[in-house]
Amino acid sequence: MLQLHILYPGANVAPSALFSSTLASARMRLGPLVHASQERFLPLTIGDTVPPSTTHVIVGKIGGADIENRAPHWLHQIATALEDGTRVFVDYSDHHLETESVMTPFYEQLSLLSCDFVVPTTGLAQRLRTKFKSLVLHVIEDWLEYDMIAPKVGVADITRALWFGHPSNARFLIDLLYIWPATKRHVELKIVSTPQTLNIINGHSFSKIPNVEVSYTPWSLDVLPKLANVCHCAVIPSDLKSPKRFASNNRLVTALALGLPTVATPLPSYEEFGRYFSALSAETLAQVLEDPDSHCDSVSAFQSHYAKRFTLDSLSSQWQRIIV
């Protein structure tokens, strides 16, 4: 009998807590795994401690909180589980092996053990293979946690652009504000994120005033689709020279699913969707801001082609294939 355990910060964590977590790595990555266990009626426990009867351990993102104590505790349990013949899967959604974060030493130790790594993109899998040739890798994309919203047409005399993301992406937004184009149409930029993002932006000394009116809304699961309904496009800046270039496609997929013509840095995980969004530059951003209506057909085409690919059932099936 299979017995699954997700290593996740906390004690006796309820499966439902992952679906409402503020961490995308919990909702979009581990949510489909929880769903898979429920579909197959597989026993599942979640928390810092692996029960002795466990047959499969899935290592969620460890996070930076209390990592000095949590990392050795997790690593000891993982090593013991492997010695006992337990299969261990590491859900690796951010490339900490290149970012030198507080989590880097933990993932360096995991890379030396006989764990399978589960990543969200083929680009990240290929990058890992170049350095860790013996690593067993699986690619499972992120779950799209929102229903499709049809793109809006008939914009009035204002364009509202939406940016949403983790604070680790705030510096890319700051860089974008420096090149934000002046437009004939009045433009507003709505930011949806945690307070840390707002602190980063407010703490930055801009050398010039951005060409856009900016407002901030705290992130929640419900607020993003509500704001998408009043916005006309989305912006997703990043940096192709940063470890963030290995990010998953979830922000682009989410923006297009929410009906928003999107201007984005063309990350490797975005390349297959190249005809559905505009590669970011001051010129392309100005074009979309001035006339978002003209880009709605590409959004509709994306939705019709990819409605089923990122569903909970589809991604749960992928987890089942590698675990069961």
The Cα–Cα gap between 61 and 74 comes to: 11
The Cα–Cα gap between 188 and 214 comes to: 6
Write phi, then psi, for 99 (nearest 5 degrees): -95, -10
pTM score: 0.93
Q: Beta strands 136-139 and 116-119: pairing type?
A: parallel
The Cα–Cα gap between 76 and 273 comes to: 41
Question: Each residue's pLDDT tens digit in the chain (324 positions)?
Answer: 899 999 999 999 999 999 989 888 899 999 999 999 999 999 999 999 999 999 999 999 999 999 999 999 999 999 999 999 999 999 999 899 888 889 999 999 999 999 999 999 999 999 999 988 889 999 999 999 999 999 988 766 899 999 999 999 999 999 999 999 999 999 999 999 999 999 999 999 999 889 999 999 999 999 999 999 999 999 999 999 988 899 999 999 999 999 999 999 999 999 999 999 999 999 999 999 999 999 999 999 999 999 899 999 999 999 999 987
Residue ranges and CATH numbers for the domains of the chain are 4-143+311-323 (3.40.50), 158-306 (3.40.50.2000)
